[in-house]
């Protein structure tokens, strides 16, 4: 359980239940963090190096920068977490004068990078077509979903969708040319676009980058050229993305995704097709519209990767 008080080094620490491999690597020598935001089931922690961690209750799917604990109250607010409190993570020596102490040594480790297997482009194209059909049918309204079917900007509603149309199209086209400057401009136009802790534009960029990192590897298209695409996306989004959107984009560029998205990519790239429809539904269920916006970016990115593979062929 969590205990909120001034801690001494001898106090029994709170123990995490699950922790992302990325978080475990960062906490090998311990760290101190400050609570920046508290919601019902999640809490944002700013570590001393400026990076963002997410503390959540077990029912919340893990993110690549997250760990879970079992709170003694229905919500984290009721458990006593408050903005500006100090959390000691990992090493007990850092617990002096902290408000919370959290140990991760006995927590199970979750891998945020899905396993990637080689896949034939025709098989992938068929699976992406099925995925697109589910996303179009079940995607959240008020999201960037119309970008998947609207060919003309004039056909789009006068909203965030219309603002995202040109930079999203530019992003896809520039990635095929490996035009880093155009990718940076497109990412800059999408980063921070829309409301929320992870605006729609940030989610789209995360899905697009994840597709280039993982689908590209699956098709054997990795290497320096494709690394330039994800590097340019990250550079363009650096200033405009929200803190959480920026953190998740950084992970996505390395192929590290939220838990429902790792299941989606695992099903999409599996040797034998499984319940892909259920995995797509799980990804769509993330947040109010974040899952749909991420899927839009992922599909746009995967289509671009497939086209890049065709252009790279010698015949």
Residue 92 pLDDT level (bands cut at 50, 70, 90): low
Instruction: Please tell me the total count of domains within the chain.
Output: 2
* SS3 per residue for 180-206: HHHHHHHHHHHCCCCCCCCCHHHHHHH
On whether both 183 and 279 belong to a single domain, the answer is: yes
Q: Answer yes or no: do 143 and 99 share one domain.
A: no
Beta bridge partners of 42: 56
| Any domain includes 115 | no
pLDDT digits (tens, 9 = 90+) for 260-274: 999 999 999 998 877
> Is position 208 within any domain?
yes
* Segment 9-42, tens digit of pLDDT: 444 467 899 999 999 998 888 888 999 999 999 9
Asked whether 301 and 215 are in contact (CB, 8 A), the reply is yes
157 and 251, same domain (yes or no): yes
Query: In which band, very low, low, confident or very high, does the pLDDT at 310 lie, cut at 50, 70 and 90?
Result: confident
Q: Which domain holds residue 153?
A: 121-312
- CATH number for the domain spanning 38: value is 2.40.50
Does the model's pTM come out above 0.85? Answer: yes
Chain position carrying tokens 């499984």: 274
For residue 280, is pLDDT > 90? yes
Confidence of residue 154 (pLDDT cuts 50, 70, 90): low
In a domain, 5, yes or no: no
Same domain flag for 57 and 126: no
**Is position 103 within any domain?**
yes
3-state SS string for 44-102: EEEECCCCEEEEECCCCCCCCCEEECCCCCCCHHHHCCCCCCEEEECCHHHHCCCCEEE
| Residue 298 pLDDT | 98
Indicate if 155 and 86 belong to the same structural domain: no
Residue 228 lies in a domain: yes
Please indicate, yes or no, whether residues 42 and 97 belong to a single structural domain of this protein: yes
Pair 162, 234 in one domain: yes
- Same domain flag for 133 and 72: no
Residues 96 and 204 in one domain: no
Does 159 share its domain with 283? yes
């Amino acid at each position: 359980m969590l205990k909120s008080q001034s801690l001494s080094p001898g106090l029994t620490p709170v123990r995490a239940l699950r922790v992302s491999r990325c978080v475990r690597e960062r906490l090998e020598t311990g760290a101190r963090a400050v609570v920046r935001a508290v919601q019902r089931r999640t809490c944002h922690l700013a570590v001393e190096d400026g990076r963002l961690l997410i503390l959540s209750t077990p029912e919340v799917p893990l993110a690549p920068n997250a760990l879970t604990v079992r709170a003694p109250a229905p919500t984290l607010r009721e458990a006593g977490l408050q903005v500006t409190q100090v959390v000691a993570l990992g090493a007990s020596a850092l617990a002096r004068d902290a408000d919370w102490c959290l140990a991760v040594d006995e927590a199970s480790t979750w891998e945020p990078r899905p396993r990637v297997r080689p896949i034939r482009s025709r098989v992938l194209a068929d699976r992406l077509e099925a995925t697109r059909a589910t996303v179009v049918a079940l995607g959240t309204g008020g999201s960037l979903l119309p970008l998947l079917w609207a060919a003309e900007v004039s056909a789009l509603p006068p909203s965030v969708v219309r603002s995202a149309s040109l930079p999203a199209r530019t992003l896809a086209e520039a990635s095929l040319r490996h035009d880093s400057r155009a990718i940076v401009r497109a990412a800059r136009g999408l980063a921070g676009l829309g409301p929320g802790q992870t605006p729609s534009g940030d989610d789209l960029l995360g899905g697009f980058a994840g597709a280039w990192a993982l689908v590209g590897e699956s098709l054997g298209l990795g290497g320096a050229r494709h690394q330039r695409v994800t590097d340019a996306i990250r550079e363009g989004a650096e200033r405009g993305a929200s803190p959480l959107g920026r953190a998740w984009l950084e992970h996505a560029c390395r192929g590290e995704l939220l838990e429902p998205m790792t299941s989606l990519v695992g099903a999409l790239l599996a040797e034998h097709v499984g319940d892909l429809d259920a995995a797509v539904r799980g990804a769509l269920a993330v947040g109010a519209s974040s899952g749909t916006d991420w899927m839009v970016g992922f599909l746009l990115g995967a289509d671009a990767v497939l086209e890049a593979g065709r252009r790279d062929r010698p015949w």
